[in-house]
Copies of this chain bind each other. A is one copy, B any other.
Amino acid sequence: MANDPVILINAFEVPAGEDDKFLASWESSHDFLRTQPGYLSTRLHRSLAPNADFRYVNVARWESAEAFRAATAQPEFRAQTPPYRFHAALYEVIREDI
C-alpha cells in the first residue's frame, strides 16, 4: 500500500567482544537519523547467543523509501558508516498475524 511505512532491516556482523564499540557507532548514527524528515522509529535487536551470524539487527520504520535515501545520502551520515560488515535493505510487510 503506497502510504504504508517502509521498513529498513540492517543486519550487522559484529565480532564477539566488540559490543561497546558497535553500540557507540550505532548510537551516533541513530542520533542523526532520528532528526531527519520521514524517520518514524527504531528497534535494535541483540542476539541472545554471542556467536550469531548477525550479532545486531536494526529494524526501523520510515515514511518512505525516498525519505530514507535522502537521510542516508547526507554527508553527516555517510561519514559515520559503522566499521562492520552490514546487510541493509528496505522492506514491506507482506504477512502479519499480530
Residues of A within 8 A of B (CB): 6-7, 9, 11, 26, 30, 34, 41-49, 52-54, 57, 59, 65, 87, 89-98
User: How many angstroms between the C-alpha atoms of A91 and B7 in the bound complex?
Assistant: 18
- Chain B residues near A95 (CB, 8 Å)? 26, 30, 42-44
With contact pairs A48-B89, A48-B92, A91-B48 given, residues A97 and B41 touching in the complex (Cβ less than 8 Å): yes
> In the complex, what's the smallest C-beta–C-beta distance from A55 to chain B, in angstroms?
9
Query: Is A11 in contact with B54, judged by CB distance below 8 angstroms?
Result: yes
Taking CB atoms, residues of chain B closer than 8 Å to A43 are 93, 95-96, 98
How many angstroms between the C-alpha atoms of A48 and B57 in the bound complex? 18
